[in-house]
Amino acid sequence: MTTIRGLPPGRAGLAWLARRRTVATRGAYLLERKLRILLAEEQDYALLAERTRAEWDQSVRELEQLMLRSALLSGERGLRHATDGATADAEIEWRLTMGVRYPAAATCTLPRPGAVPLADNAALPLARPAAEHAVRSAVDHAVASRALTAIRTEIAATRRQLRALQQRWLPRLDAAHAGLLIQLDDQEHEEHVRMRWAADPARSGRAEPSAPADGSRRPARSRGDLP
């Protein structure tokens, strides 16, 4: 019989195993439900990550072309003069789904325009909105890819937990239940045999004296008779 720590003996063990099997079955159901929801989220965020990556790549290519034109017109020194080194900020909105916390959206705060573009550089006025679009696209892709990573990590953990219940714990409970039933059946059979033996004088060793062959009764001894 499969040994499970804490299993009570006798029929109390059957009730103990039944309760734990109910809990394990309920847990497996909840994990399957969680897995279905997470797989749907994974599909959505996989498409979103793919789309935002394409937008980011496209915006970076457009920005590189404009920056190259600006560098050809004004040189690298002119580009440094047209920028002030300000950075953008991103505020992340978080979401909690089935116990998984991941970024759901982000709001970018871009710096205000600094130096006035050079008069002889017509590409710089176009480079700024292209750069802003590239930054927003990068943040959107970072949010989608980070959410996708968190969801996939939780999916892997949920699958491990579900396999542990379905392939190890539930089979152990079933094997212990079957083994305990066999053990109790053997004990009841042995008890039944002992009761039958106890009820049969010939088997219990308390047989009565046999009667004479001629059928007559033996005279009863009185207290005064010699042995």
**Which pLDDT score is estimated for 66?**
84
What pLDDT digit, counting tens, does each position of 10-67 carry? 888 889 999 999 999 999 999 999 999 999 999 999 999 999 999 999 999 998 988 8
Question: Does residue 15 form part of some domain?
Answer: no
> Nearest 5°: CA angle at 187, between 184 and 191?
140
Question: Does residue 119 form part of some domain?
Answer: yes
- The predicted model scores a pTM of 0.72
Question: Does residue 209 form part of some domain?
Answer: no
Question: Does residue 82 form part of some domain?
Answer: yes
DSSP the chain: ----TTPPSTHHHHHHHHHHHHHHHHHHHHHHHHHHHHHHHHHHHHHHHHHHHHHHHHHHHHHHHHHHHHHHHHHHHHHHHT------EEEEEEEEETTEEEEEEEEEEPPPP-SPPPTT-SSHHHHHHHHHHHHHHHHHHHHHHHHHHHHHHHHHHHHHHHHIIIIIIHHHHHHHHHHHHHHHHHHHHHHHHHHHHHH-HHHHT-PPPPPPTTSPPPPPPPTTS--
Question: Does residue 92 form part of some domain?
Answer: yes
Phi, then psi, of 225 in degrees rounded to 5? -65, 145
CATH code for the domain of 42: 1.10.287.3240
**Closest CA relative to residue 155, chosen from 69, 31, 55:** 31
Q: What is the mean pLDDT of each run of 10 residues along the chain (227 residues)?
A: 78 90 95 96 96 96 86 69 75 92 91 60 76 93 96 96 95 91 78 74 55 52 46
Separation of alpha carbons 220 and 133, rounded Å = 123
Question: Does residue 118 form part of some domain?
Answer: yes
**Which pLDDT score is estimated for 121?**
65
Question: Does residue 179 form part of some domain?
Answer: no
Handedness of CA 208, 212, 215, 216 (dihedral sign): negative
Domain that holds residue 53: 26-169
**Which pLDDT score is estimated for 172?**
93
Domain count of the chain?
1
Question: Does residue 21 form part of some domain?
Answer: no
